[in-house]
Amino acid sequence: MKLMKNKVNKWLSRGLDRHVRLAVTGLSKAGKTAFITSLVNQLLHSATNPRLPLFQPVREGYILGARRIPQRQLLVPSFDFDLNMQALHSQPPLWPSPTTDVSEIRLEIRYRPQKRALRLLQESVTLYLDIVDYPGEWLLDLPLLSMTFDEWSEKQSKILTGKRKTLSKEWLEALDELDPFAELNEKQILDISQKFTTYLYACKEEAGLHWVQPGRFVLPGEYAGAPVLQFFPLVNKSKSESQLKEIPPNSNYGVLKERYDYYCKHIVKRFYQENFSKVDRQILLVDVLEPLNAGVDSFNDMRLALEQLMQSFRYGKTGLLQRLFSPKIDKIMFAATKADHVTPDQHAHLVTLLQQLIHDAWQTASFEGIEMECLTLASIQATEPGLVDYKGQKVAALRGHLLNGDPILVYPGEVPARLPKRDFWEHHQFDFRSFRPIVTDVDEPLPHIRLDKALQYLLGDKLK
The CATH code of the domain at 16-139+275-381+439-463 is 3.40.50.300
Per-residue confidence (pLDDT) for residue 12, from 0 to 100: 46
User: What does the pLDDT read at residue 5?
Assistant: 45
Three-class secondary structure assignment of the chain: CHHHHHHHHHHHHHHHCEEEEEEEEECCCCCHHHHHHHHHHHHHCCCCCCCCCCCHHHHCCCEEEEEEECCCCCCCCECCHHHHHHHHCCCCCCCCCCCCCCEEEEEEEEECCCCHHHHHHCCCEEEEEEEEECCHHHHCCHHHHHCCHHHHHHHHHHCCCHHHHHHCHHHHHHHHCCCCCCECCHHHHHHHHHHHHHHHHHHHHCCCCCCCCCHHHCCCHHHCCCHHHCCCCCCCCCCCHHHHHCCCCCEHHHHHHHHHHHHHHHHHHHHHHHHHCCCCEEEEEECCHHHHHHCHHHHHHHHHHHHHHHHHCCCCCCCHHHHHHCCCCCEEEEEECCHHHCCHHHHHHHHHHHHHHCHHHHHHHHHCCCEEEEEECECCCCEEEEEEEECCEEEEEEEEEECCCCEEEECCCCCCCCCCCCCHHHHCCCCCCCECCCCCCCCCCCCCECHHHHHHHHHHHHHC
- Residue ranges of the domains in the chain? 16-139+275-381+439-463, 147-272, 383-427
CA R_g for the chain = 24
pLDDT at residue 332, as a whole number: 87
| pLDDT in the model for residue 295 | 83
Per-residue pLDDT, 116 = 63
d(CA 350, CA 343): 11
Residue-level pLDDT at 15: 56
pLDDT the model gives residue 11 = 43
Identify the pLDDT of residue 138. 85
Whether the CB-CB separation of 450 and 375 falls below 8 Å is answered with yes
> In this predicted structure, what is the pLDDT of residue 243?
65
Tell me the C-alpha distance between 114 and 116, whole Å: 6
- Determine if the peptide bond prior to 92 is cis (ω within 30°): yes
Residue 23 to residues 91, 131, 277, 437, 440, Cα–Cα distance (Å): 32, 6, 11, 25, 28
Which of the residues in the chain have pLDDT under 50? 1-2, 5-9, 11-13, 318
Q: pLDDT at position 1, please? A: 47
Instruction: Identify the pLDDT of residue 7.
Output: 46
Query: Within 10 Å of residue 456's Cβ, how many Cβ atoms?
Result: 20
pLDDT in tens, 344-359: 999 999 999 999 888 7
Rounded Cα distance, 354 and 335, in Å: 8
